[in-house]
A and B are shown apart, each in its own frame.
Chain A
Amino acid sequence: MKKNKMNINKKEIIITIIVLVLCIVVGFFAGKALYETMYGAI
């Protein structure tokens, strides 16, 4: 168990962070589009 933790791939962590950041960006634009449709200009 301990050994596995030590072997976490650095590349994997970087990709995970990129994926989550991308997800925030996508969410932001999805939110913007949604509320502009519902409310008009935010």
Chain B
Amino acid sequence: MKQCMEQFKRIIKKNVPMIIILLTTIILVFPLLGNKVSSGHDYDFHVTNFLLNQSNINILKLDFIIPKVFGGNIANSFGYGTGIFYPPLSYYLTSYLAYFFQIIKVNSILALPFLQIIIFFLSSLMMYKFVKRVSNDNTVAIISAISYISSVYFITNIYVRIAIAESLTFIFIPLVFWGLYELFFGAKKKFYILFTLGYVGLINCHLVLSIYITMFIIIVFLIFFKKVFKKEIIKKLIFASILILLISSPFLVPLLEHKFYGNYVVFNQETMYTIKTIKENALSLKDFFIIKIKTPNGVEVYMNYVIIYMTLITIHFNKQIFKKEKKYIFWSVLVILIVSTFISTKYFPWAIMPSFIKMIQFPWRMCGIIGFCSSILSGYFTKIIDSPHKKTIVCIIGLFIVLFGASTIPRERVTKPYYPTEISMGVQKEYLPQKTIENIEYFEKRNKEIIIKNGKANIDILEKETPYLKANIKLESETPVVIELPRLYYLGYSIKLQTDKELKKVKYKENEKGFIELEVEESGILEVQYEGTIANKISNYISIITIFSCIFALIYKKNKKNR
């Protein structure tokens, strides 16, 4: 019995970090377990997408891929290219969860809160692992992990903004920086795995944030250029970057193709943001400190007071806390913290910034990075506690951090399961062709038939399951007809006409309303499906080959080492 108790105690001691992370997560996700759910902001968009896309997945029939052009009732069933422009990780994860929930007869709408719970837990865990590696101190790592998920912006992203994609980045940000730590101070092999995994995750969650993080990393590299600009380091960074780009190419290639060869709302600066809207969403310094009872859009940007206090104390005592190579860590984190705080404010010269910087739309998005940096620094606060009751003090501090975080969770929520009030295409309908948004009335009132623009023909639609379409076209004269398909224009459609003699590919173009227009010269069966562009197909293969090569290389190296 005594032996058993001792073993029990030993196990508890060994698992203290995991127990604390679990407890914190459960306390912070508790409202997600109840019978109420947050709605508003991106809720309708995410739920619409995964409720629709779960039907595209069927593991038994080997259907693993969600088409890039979304069907269903989205965009009046004209085929909406969310998958081309929107990073895939969030809708893949929610759709797969919804699919599995459906199999085990659980309401698939619960996939959303379930994923949010996983995000809470994994973000905290990754932050713990990262800071544990850097500081080699359990207490520092635990407080950082707690602070990370108790930061007000993290909670706002989950509970108010329902920004699944942005929330997912919180899992990958620690991985990227952990990878960089390994590159400079640790095992170089680990760098490839962590850095690549982190960046691939980031790019496939939120492209704008990954651009910003790259920018921050470049700034830090420039500051410590003597340590960074070595042949060996640069070589490894370039190789990792190539791997990241190759693995992420199935998302990046079609996105760039549509940017250069198409005209879509998402790339139109005037529609997506103006200097005025950016400045409206930029913060003043007092916004970080004042708890607003009701902000116009419900987004809470103030900082967790306990974390602010601890961060400031850590900065003040930095010379005692950070010694030798740890100084680099401190200054890197501090520089990123200062730069991201500056960017989030209205004092940042937004007017003269290039468009890729302004794509952030809401400067308060930087609060995610601010939260990440301040969590690391607040963890180091525990290093200056010099008392025989250190454990008790740390426990109380941890409790205050979590309680502050929990108190920022909004009360006003609706009863679940709550179905979206509208079939959401995104707040600005940003994935429509620019010509469609300019003729939005036509788009809203257009019927779902094939419209003859020029010539005479008899057209019967045989099958339509957006984006797929099959129609029988009988020309009434020998002159060709020009038709408009009930499909929005995106690159990558494959249109074929089966005549009596042959099967031929038909070229299509974007018409003045942003729909697909083509010329049919002979009678036959017209078949339309979305296959993706040639570059997209090639990038899919390249990505799969790269992933398998990386796995193969890892296994091969491990086996070689074991021998």
How many residues of chain A are within 8 Å of chain B by beta carbon? 20
How far does the alpha carbon of A41 sit from the alpha carbon of B513 in the complex, in Å?
Answer: 52
Please provide the chain B residues from 12 to 56 with a CB less than 8 Å away from any CB of chain A in the complex: 12, 14-15, 18-19, 22-23, 25-27, 29-31, 33-36
Give the shortest distance, in Å, between B554 (CB) and chain A (any CB).
18
Are B406 and A38 touching (Cβ within 8 A)?
yes
List 22 interface pairs A-B (beta carbons < 8 Å), by A numbering: A11-B7, A12-B7, A15-B7, A16-B11, A19-B11, A19-B12, A20-B15, A20-B19, A24-B26, A27-B23, A28-B33, A30-B23, A30-B27, A31-B30, A32-B30, A34-B403, A35-B30, A35-B31, A35-B34, A35-B406, A38-B406, A38-B407
B231 interface residue (CB < 8 Å to A): no
Give the shortest distance, in Å, between B294 (CB) and chain A (any CB).
17
CB-defined contacts of A39 to chain B, threshold 8 Å: 411
B8 interface residue (CB < 8 Å to A): yes
Interface centre among B8, B11, B14, B19 (most CB of A within 10 A): B11
Closest to B402 in A: A34
A6 interface residue (CB < 8 Å to B): no
How far does the alpha carbon of A26 sit from the alpha carbon of B24 in the complex, in Å?
Answer: 11
The 6 residue pairs across chains A and B that have the minimum distance between CB atoms? A27-B26, A31-B30, A42-B34, A27-B23, A31-B27, A23-B19
Are B11 and A15 touching (Cβ within 8 A)?
yes
Closest to A25 in B: B26
CB-defined contacts of A23 to chain B, threshold 8 Å: 19, 22-23
Give the shortest distance, in Å, between B362 (CB) and chain A (any CB).
28
How far does the alpha carbon of A39 sit from the alpha carbon of B408 in the complex, in Å?
Answer: 11
Determine chain A's interface SS by DSSP, over half rule.
Answer: helix
CB-defined contacts of A38 to chain B, threshold 8 Å: 406-407
Closest to B21 in A: A23
Give the shortest distance, in Å, between A5 (CB) and chain B (any CB).
12
With A28-B30, A30-B27, A32-B30 known to touch, is A16 a contact of B15 (CB < 8 Å)?
yes
Residues 41-80 of chain B, each 1 if its beta carbon lies under 8 Å from chain A, else 0: 0000000000000000000000000000000000000000
- Known A19-B11, A35-B34, A38-B407; further 15 A-B contacts with Cβ < 8 A: A11-B7, A15-B11, A19-B8, A19-B15, A20-B19, A23-B19, A23-B22, A24-B22, A24-B26, A26-B23, A28-B26, A28-B30, A30-B26, A42-B31, A42-B36
How far does the alpha carbon of A38 sit from the alpha carbon of B409 in the complex, in Å?
Answer: 10
CB-defined contacts of A31 to chain B, threshold 8 Å: 26-27, 29-30, 33
Give the shortest distance, in Å, between B36 (CB) and chain A (any CB).
7
Interface centre among A15, A16, A27, A30 (most CB of B within 10 A): A27
Are B23 and A20 touching (Cβ within 8 A)?
no
How far does the alpha carbon of A23 sit from the alpha carbon of B561 in the complex, in Å?
Answer: 39
Give the shortest distance, in Å, between A40 (CB) and chain B (any CB).
9
Give the shortest distance, in Å, between A35 (CB) and chain B (any CB).
6
Closest to A28 in B: B26
How far does the alpha carbon of A35 sit from the alpha carbon of B410 in the complex, in Å?
Answer: 11
CB-defined contacts of B562 to chain A, threshold 8 Å: 2
Give the shortest distance, in Å, between A9 (CB) and chain B (any CB).
8
Give the shortest distance, in Å, between A2 (CB) and chain B (any CB).
8
How far does the alpha carbon of A20 sit from the alpha carbon of B406 in the complex, in Å?
Answer: 22
How far does the alpha carbon of A17 sit from the alpha carbon of B11 in the complex, in Å?
Answer: 10
CB-defined contacts of B7 to chain A, threshold 8 Å: 11-12, 15
Please provide the chain B residues from 407 to 422 with a CB less than 8 Å away from any CB of chain A in the complex: 407, 411
Give the shortest distance, in Å, between B413 (CB) and chain A (any CB).
10
CB-defined contacts of A42 to chain B, threshold 8 Å: 30-31, 34-36
How far does the alpha carbon of A27 sit from the alpha carbon of B8 in the complex, in Å?
Answer: 19
How far does the alpha carbon of A30 sit from the alpha carbon of B25 in the complex, in Å?
Answer: 12
With A16-B11, A16-B15, A42-B36 known to touch, is A27 a contact of B31 (CB < 8 Å)?
no
Give the shortest distance, in Å, between B443 (CB) and chain A (any CB).
43
How far does the alpha carbon of A16 sit from the alpha carbon of B22 in the complex, in Å?
Answer: 13
How far does the alpha carbon of A42 sit from the alpha carbon of B415 in the complex, in Å?
Answer: 11
Give the shortest distance, in Å, between B229 (CB) and chain A (any CB).
37
CB-defined contacts of A11 to chain B, threshold 8 Å: 7
Interface centre among A12, A19, A30 (most CB of B within 10 A): A19
Give the shortest distance, in Å, between A22 (CB) and chain B (any CB).
9
CB-defined contacts of B23 to chain A, threshold 8 Å: 23, 26-27, 30
How far does the alpha carbon of A16 sit from the alpha carbon of B406 in the complex, in Å?
Answer: 28
Give the shortest distance, in Å, between A23 (CB) and chain B (any CB).
5
Within 8 Å by CB of B8, from A15, A28, A30, A34, lies A15
Give the shortest distance, in Å, between A18 (CB) and chain B (any CB).
9
Closest to B14 in A: A16
CB-defined contacts of A34 to chain B, threshold 8 Å: 27, 30, 403, 406
Closest to B12 in A: A19
Give the shortest distance, in Å, between A15 (CB) and chain B (any CB).
5
Give the shortest distance, in Å, between A17 (CB) and chain B (any CB).
10
CB-defined contacts of A32 to chain B, threshold 8 Å: 30
How far does the alpha carbon of A15 sit from the alpha carbon of B403 in the complex, in Å?
Answer: 30
Are B22 and A20 touching (Cβ within 8 A)?
yes
CB-defined contacts of A15 to chain B, threshold 8 Å: 7-8, 11
How far does the alpha carbon of A35 sit from the alpha carbon of B12 in the complex, in Å?
Answer: 27
How far does the alpha carbon of A35 sit from the alpha carbon of B159 in the complex, in Å?
Answer: 15
Give the shortest distance, in Å, between A41 (CB) and chain B (any CB).
9
How far does the alpha carbon of A20 sit from the alpha carbon of B21 in the complex, in Å?
Answer: 11
How far does the alpha carbon of A27 sit from the alpha carbon of B402 in the complex, in Å?
Answer: 12
How far does the alpha carbon of A38 sit from the alpha carbon of B7 in the complex, in Å?
Answer: 38
